[in-house]
Structure 1
Amino acid sequence: MTSAEQLALLGGAPAVEQPLPHEVWPPPAEPAELSELAEQRNTDISIKGNSGPIGQLETDFLAFLNGGARFAVTFNSGTSALLAAYFALGVREGVDVVGPALTYHAALSPVFALRGDVVLADIDPDTRGLDPKALQAALTEHTKVITVVHQWGHPCDMDAILRIAERNGLRVLEDCSHAHGSHYKGKPVGTFGDAAVFSLQANKAVYAGEGGILVTSDPGVHDRATLLGHYRDRSRDTVIDEDLRAHWVTGFGLKLRMSPFNAIVARHALAAFPARKEARHRCLRHLGAQLGDVTYLEPVHVADHVDMGAWYGYKPLYRPAELGGVPRSVLIEALRAEGMEVGAPSGPRLSTLPLYAHPENPLFPGVPKKGIAPGTGSHAEYVEQHALSLPTFTNWPEDTTLIDQYAEAFRKIGRHREALVRYAAGPSR
């Protein structure tokens, strides 16, 4: 057997020739962005209300949502925007928020800062977001908010979730941090719930470095969210309710505002998004087609009524039985030896994290937590234990050769199944 035909893990030549890293993000700044940042430095480095690039970003983002939301408010992070959203939706001590059992921790963790409680519901194995049936079963007499996370870019079943919310008089918060530009039945995510938050952290398709933006059509949500993170000019000029506007000098005591520099970066990323989205879609459609004959992978499911928008990595599921029961960790080891940038998704089930699992709120000793979560055998557990995380290829057609080599690495593993099984069972493991 030649070196090229052996697994690289066992001394063969890697299938992927391009050196790591394969996902370089965010892309380098264009001259126009750098020029605007330099000009802002010499014009004004302070934050005055929503003037200048901050106000421009908010206007641009509402246009990005096709007018599906009335208000946009920027924050210094997606987590801060979520905190403001939860506060504005009425989360406080004695209030339960139902959210998905498998997602990034910050989608729900701000609830604890407001003395609220989190109830975790299982996910839909296709959308990777909230399963409507599990959501219905998880509701309590104290539930006030449903948090929908469009996990890894795929929208949730919004029709079913909104029916449950309407039937039970609940508010809906959309976390769209992975889903910039995603659409459900032709409508942008972020325009379904009572409020929505988009993270603009550096790994996101639309990025500010650090930042977040809250959108809503509810004036009350807008006013309360604004006052939680903004004060003086912004609150004086934009808060609608006269009684709430009385707090304009102080807001509600916090300062969670976005820097104008972050707003400039985000505006340029937003302007570049349509072309980058199209390139990502071409790359990942090509990757999906190439992996169609790899039997030990379950392809990424994208419903016919869904536009994945930005994507957020490419995350197929591993089928161990199709590869002789080789553990996922060994498969990842073999794929990395072949030169791939691959791993397991970084976010574990929330119920395994102390912040969620501990019976007491760590921010407020003495405030108990329910800790309700789906147990073993859940869809959340299965996805957590079987998902693989591949790069979000963005450069089309330049990445075609690299994508083809990734597909060949997967096929090579399949061709040498027995050798990998023996390696996994070896005495050194």
Structure 2
Amino acid sequence: MTDVRDELALLGGPTAISKPRPHEIWPPDADEPELIELADQRNDDISIRGSSGPIRALENDFLRFLEHRVQWAVTFNSGTSALLAAYFALGVREDTEVVGPALTYHAALSPVFALHGEVVLADIDLRTRCIDPAGLERAITPRSKVITAVHQWGHPCDMDAILDIASRHDLRVLEDCSHAHGSRYKGRLCGTFGDAAVFSLQANKAIYAGEGGILVTNDSEVHDRATLLGHYRDRCREDLIDGRLRDYWVTGFGLKLRMSPFNAIVARHSLAAFPTRKENRHKCLQYLGERLSEVTYIEPAYVADDVDMGAWYGYKPLYLPDSLDAITREVLIKALRAEGMEIGAPSGPDLATLPLYSEAESPLFPGLPKVANVPAADSNAARVQRQALSLPTFNNWPEDKSLIDDYIVAFQKIYQNHSALVDYARSA
């Protein structure tokens, strides 16, 4: 067994973690019923015929999953396409602004640019990593149209505060639930608060289609306009509520962003398996958080008392460099990987660091401004950008318990040998 006093693996010592990477293997292999249904669909019908077959079945299943708190569900070929349709349906156009979090996955806000809209960034709450209500209110201008509430890495936003701000400023609310399948805020499922919500069903998500997205809403106009943006012909003729908008049924609004029936089948099976997988994730990650509290230079992921993390989306603790002689995050990650750990920096960055958000004008539409109110270098978003770590979403309980224990040994081994790591960093 590896001892925390052993020499660091980076410097030639034994590894703390013997199990080969990857430690998060996702998505799981298909079972026989899923494979049979996919094969049957291939021989039955590979086309997309409105809202029918596995498409309609998935949408109905998803409405049940959300406890029928929303009336309509519309599938798309990706979460990004569903977000584009949502922004369009909520009225984003040139000279309008969308206020969203300064740190998140880029696609939560980038569809705004395709609609000639502008993005206004608000700082995040350091604990939840979601948009900070006080920063949100400061970022609102007379041109603001939509608030985007991203339930970052599965932790719900402060929806009471966001809905209050939206009501006082007459703004629409879009929930991005791409990381938050099954997450709850004060007992209520994320995706059932806003004027519209979008769930990504990309392969890394807990409910996955391979590629896919789904938009949900209780607003008939949002439903109709979102449907027209990504669908045409049968679905628009059959499902639209507004007769005036139904006149566009042959063409829609010119785009085809529909989900394949094969993706819908995959999504239905992953949705059916979700409750058990969620329970296993919760057991694994609760245990990981408890063990990480023993590591002095790591701040475990925060979970508010009044929320349920649903599916989680990775585990994102905060590195506290002052507790480890200011060793850089990059050196720490390198040392932990050498110990056999699956670890990196999160993929949801401070958006101001990305050219799509930081350049002065849009690469799609030169002359149009893009981003306003970029948070300062000492913002919470900038701090999380510098200090957050990304660990696996452990899925197998109790099998992963011993692996989590090995992770803690690796973290403690770094602490016990941090002076040698400081010397390594200085000489590198």
What TM bracket, shorter-length normalisation?
Answer: over 0.9
User: In structure 2, the residue corresponding to 1:425 is in which secondary structure?
Assistant: helix
Aligned partner of 2:190 in structure 1 is 189
Deviations 1:365-420 (A, max 9, x none): 22233532111100000001000000000011111111110111111111112222
CA distance in 2, matches of 1:4, 1:336: 18
CA distance in 2, matches of 1:325, 1:406: 21
Q: 2:139 aligned with 1:138, yes or no? A: yes
Deviations 1:152-203 (A, max 9, x none): 0000111111100000000000000001000000000000000000000000
Pairs aligned (count): 427
Aligned partner of 1:258 in structure 2 is 259
CA distance in 2, matches of 1:370, 1:105: 13
Seen in structure 2, the aligned counterparts of structure 1 residues 207 and 391 have a Cα distance that, compared at 3 Å, is same
Residue type of the partner of 1:295? T
Aligned partner of 1:389 in structure 2 is 390
Q: Displacement of 1:347 after TM fit?
A: 3.0
User: In structure 1, the residue corresponding to 2:197 is in which secondary structure?
Assistant: strand
User: In structure 2, the residue corresponding to 1:148 is in which secondary structure?
Assistant: strand
Q: Displacement of 1:348 after TM fit?
A: 2.3
Aligned partner of 1:200 in structure 2 is 201
CA distance in 1, matches of 2:131, 2:223: 25
Q: Is the 8 A contact 2:3 2:413 kept in 1?
A: no
CA distance in 1, matches of 2:344, 2:355: 23
Aligned partner of 1:305 in structure 2 is 306
CA distance in 1, matches of 2:289, 2:256: 44
Aligned partner of 1:5 in structure 2 is 6
1:205-284 superposed matches below 5 A:
205-284=206-285
CA distance in 1, matches of 2:369, 2:304: 40
CA distance in 2, matches of 1:70, 1:141: 31
1:306-325 superposed matches below 5 A:
306-325=307-326
Q: 2:334 aligned with 1:351, yes or no? A: no
Residue type of the partner of 1:371? A
User: In structure 2, the residue corresponding to 1:346 is in which secondary structure?
Assistant: coil
CA distance in 2, matches of 1:407, 1:2: 12
Q: Displacement of 1:89 after TM fit?
A: 0.1
Aligned partner of 1:153 in structure 2 is 154
CA distance in 2, matches of 1:144, 1:62: 27
CA distance in 2, matches of 1:2, 1:353: 41
Q: 2:57 aligned with 1:56, yes or no? A: yes
User: In structure 2, the residue corresponding to 1:5 is in which secondary structure?
Assistant: coil
Q: 2:367 aligned with 1:366, yes or no? A: yes
Q: Is the 8 A contact 1:81 1:197 kept in 2?
A: yes
CA distance in 1, matches of 2:358, 2:12: 44
Where do 5+ consecutive residues of structure 2 fail to align? none
CA distance in 1, matches of 2:61, 2:4: 54
1:20-59 superposed matches below 5 A:
20-59=21-60
Mean Cα deviation higher: 358-367 or 49-58: 358-367
Given the two structures, how large is their TM-score scaled by the length of structure 2?
Answer: 0.98
Q: Is the 8 A contact 1:190 1:215 kept in 2?
A: yes
Q: Is the 8 A contact 2:4 2:413 kept in 1?
A: no
User: In structure 1, the residue corresponding to 2:293 is in which secondary structure?
Assistant: helix
CA distance in 2, matches of 1:235, 1:188: 28
Q: Displacement of 1:275 after TM fit?
A: 0.2
CA distance in 2, matches of 1:406, 1:369: 42
Mean Cα deviation higher: 287-296 or 34-43: 287-296
Q: Displacement of 1:3 after TM fit?
A: 10
Q: Is the 8 A contact 1:196 1:216 kept in 2?
A: yes
CA distance in 2, matches of 1:273, 1:308: 13
CA distance in 2, matches of 1:348, 1:194: 26
CA distance in 1, matches of 2:338, 2:369: 47
Q: Is the 8 A contact 1:4 1:13 kept in 2?
A: no
Q: Is the 8 A contact 2:15 2:339 kept in 1?
A: yes
Aligned partner of 2:293 in structure 1 is 292
* Two-structure CA RMSD over aligned residues (Å): 1.2
CA distance in 1, matches of 2:353, 2:313: 23
Where do 5+ consecutive residues of structure 1 fail to align? none
Aligned partner of 2:67 in structure 1 is 66
Q: Displacement of 1:20 after TM fit?
A: 0.8
